[in-house]
Structure 1
Amino acid sequence: MEVKIGVQHAPREIALESSQSAEEIERAVADALGGTTRLLTLVDEHGRRILVPSDRLAYVEIGEQAVRKVGFGAL
């Protein structure tokens, strides 16, 4: 899944590709915003952990897997 995270007082968003399902990501965001955990923790497709303090979250956008185009075909 493609995930974009907006962080308060940061000019750029965090963008990552995750092998987690949309439901898993949504559950992690809900836990972070509900006060269950103090950090939003996600894992990208390379196994790296992304940690964002839950009180600094501005938004989380969950999208579909990005399709990679190969070749030099006409658009």
Structure 2
Amino acid sequence: MEVRIGIKDSGREISLESPLDSKGVQAAIKQGMSDGTIELTDNKGKLFIVPASSVAFVEIGSEDSRRVGFIS
């Protein structure tokens, strides 16, 4: 699941591939917004911690991942 998090007062955003489904990502975002920090782990095990007060937006991609290249 592709997740993009926009950061306030910054032209940059955080983009990651999460092993969670859409509902799992939504739950993690909602929990993080109430706790003060959003914590998400990507498919490779990298942990992202974002202060909830810095979040401008969160975009959750579709269930289908885009694949590029050949599939054997």
TM-score by length of 1: 0.82
Matched, 1:41 2:33: no
> CA RMSD, aligned part only?
1.3
Out of 57-66 and 47-56, give the one that drifted further: 57-66
Task: Give the greater-gyration-radius structure (CA).
Answer: 1
- Distance of 1:49 and 1:32 partners within structure 2: 14
The Cα shift of 1:68 comes to 1.4
Structure 2: distance between partners of 1:29 and 1:9: 20
CA distance in structure 1 between the aligned counterparts of 2:28 and 2:68, rounded to whole angstroms: 30
Who is 1:8 aligned against? 8
Q: One-letter code of the match for 1:62?
A: I
The answer to whether the aligner puts 1:28 opposite 2:28 as a matched pair is: yes
Q: Residue type of the partner of 1:67?
A: R
* Structure 1 segments of 4+ aligned residues over 4 angstroms from their partners: none
Unaligned runs of 5+ residues in structure 2 are none
- TM-score calculated relative to the size of structure 2: 0.85
Question: Which runs of no fewer than 5 residues in structure 1 stay unpaired?
Answer: none
